[in-house]
Amino acid sequence: MKLTAHADLSALNTFSLAARCRWLAELTRVDELPSLMATPEFLGQPRLILGGGSNLLFTCDFEGLVIHNRLRGIQVEDGGDHWLLQVAAGESWHELVCHTLAQGMPGLENLALIPGTVGAAPVQNIGAYGVELASFCRHVDTFNWHTGQQERIPAEACRFGYRDSIFKHDYQESHLITAVGLALPKAWLPVLGYGPLGALAAPTPQAIFETVCATRMAKLPDPAVLGNAGSFFKNPVVSAAQADALKERWPTLPVYGAGEGQSKLAAGWLIDQCGLKGFAIGGAQVHGQQALVLVNRGGATAVELIALAAHVRDAVQQRFGVLLEHEVRFMGASGETWLDEVLA
């Protein structure tokens, strides 16, 4: 396993922020984990598992061990009415979507072009254009740092929710994701609820894939060109009563159902209505095509991105009385942190 001390992380986070870590380990084999776990230097040190670094904001240098998950491999089995896939955590999510479509195994087309790795997908239960990872996930294979054993977590135990799972909570410190098991039904069912998909004359998997790619490319900046981490905030879930009151006052506000008595609001719309598209603090900017995305327009620092995030959150709170929570995960010197904590 390759180990680097005082490594530069700017190429390992899609905001391209210049952060460093005390050590960087490149993980290419699961059987390297027990020895990494037993290395005296790393005992009791903060640990961060990094996939594509596409949902992460380094608020400062990381004073611990970063493990860059580069486990590779895709296995496919014929499971009768499903294709069963076992995919190593370090595989690129989008390449997996392309690979399955090319092999005649549709299902993942709505999730095309989501940046990041397969191992990161269950952590926040990636979702787009009406589909979430949870619909296809059978299990998540992990290495448990506490026991030193490999452990398979069935999907039912992953507590998948909107941009949420057990891997953000109880298993955050204890479990490293090594692979994800997926089941793609052979009886393909298109998901066409999202505007431009419903308008497709012949909704084949390839047509959906192409429409999703075109939609994303029109709205969402390519992190390779303009540093960003996708949606910066979650779409807020409020009571149906609050959503009704807001809708009465602002009839064009997009509101979605979110379970009994609850509604989800479009955070991008709320930010946009505050007139913040294009608003910048130093190198940090609210994206001009999608207000929910904050970008590094060149040379942004963590301090600038944090100040911009606080400004956006406060503007929405003042105007609409709705509190935005960040979807991008903030990483402090020794572990996860939150906007309020870094502002304190």
The least distance separating ligand EPU from the CB of residue 248, rounded to whole angstroms, comes to 18
User: Whole-angstrom Cα distance, residue 327 to residue 191?
Assistant: 24
Buried b (16+ CB within 10 A) or exposed e, 286-309: bbeebbbbbbbbeebebebbbebb
User: Sign (positive/negative) of CA torsion 263, 266, 271, 274?
Assistant: negative
Q: CA nearest 267: which of 195, 165, 163?
A: 163
Does residue 272 bind ligand EPU (CB under 6 A)? yes
Does 226 sit near ligand EPU (CB under 6 A)? Answer: no
- When the beta carbons of 181 and 230 are compared against ligand EPU, the nearer one is 230
The reply on whether position 219 binds ligand EPU by CB under 6 A is yes
Tokens linked to 252: 């064009």
Q: In the bound complex, what is the minimum distance in angstroms from residue 199's beta carbon to ligand EPU? A: 14
Are the beta carbons of 301 and 17 closer than 8 angstroms? yes
**Which of 109, 132, 304, 327 is flagged as catalytic?**
327
Output the CA torsion sign for 140, 143, 145, 147.
positive
Q: CB of residue 323 vs ligand EPU: minimum separation in angstroms?
A: 15
313 touches ligand EPU by CB under 6 A: no
Q: Catalytic residue at 336?
A: no
Nearer to ligand EPU, 43 or 225 (CB): 225
Site for ligand EPU in 240-259 (CB under 6 A): 254
Whether 210 is catalytic is: no
70 is known as an active-site residue = no
* Minimum CB distance to ligand EPU, residue 218 (Å): 10
When asked if residue 269 is in the footprint of ligand EPU (CB under 6 A), the reply is yes
Q: How far apart are CA 297 and CA 268, in angstroms?
A: 19
Q: Which of residues 121-140 bind ligand EPU (CB under 6 A)?
A: 128-129
Q: What is the DSSP letter of 150?
A: E
- Determine if 292 is a binding residue for ligand EPU (CB under 6 A): yes
Cβ contact 325:236 at 8 Å:
yes
Total chain residues near ligand EPU (CB under 6 A): 18
Q: 195 φ, ψ to 5°?
A: -20, -75
The residue ranges that bind ligand EPU (CB under 6 A) are 128-129, 219-220, 230-231, 234-235, 254, 266, 268-269, 272, 277, 290-292, 327
Q: Which residues are catalytic?
A: 163, 231, 327
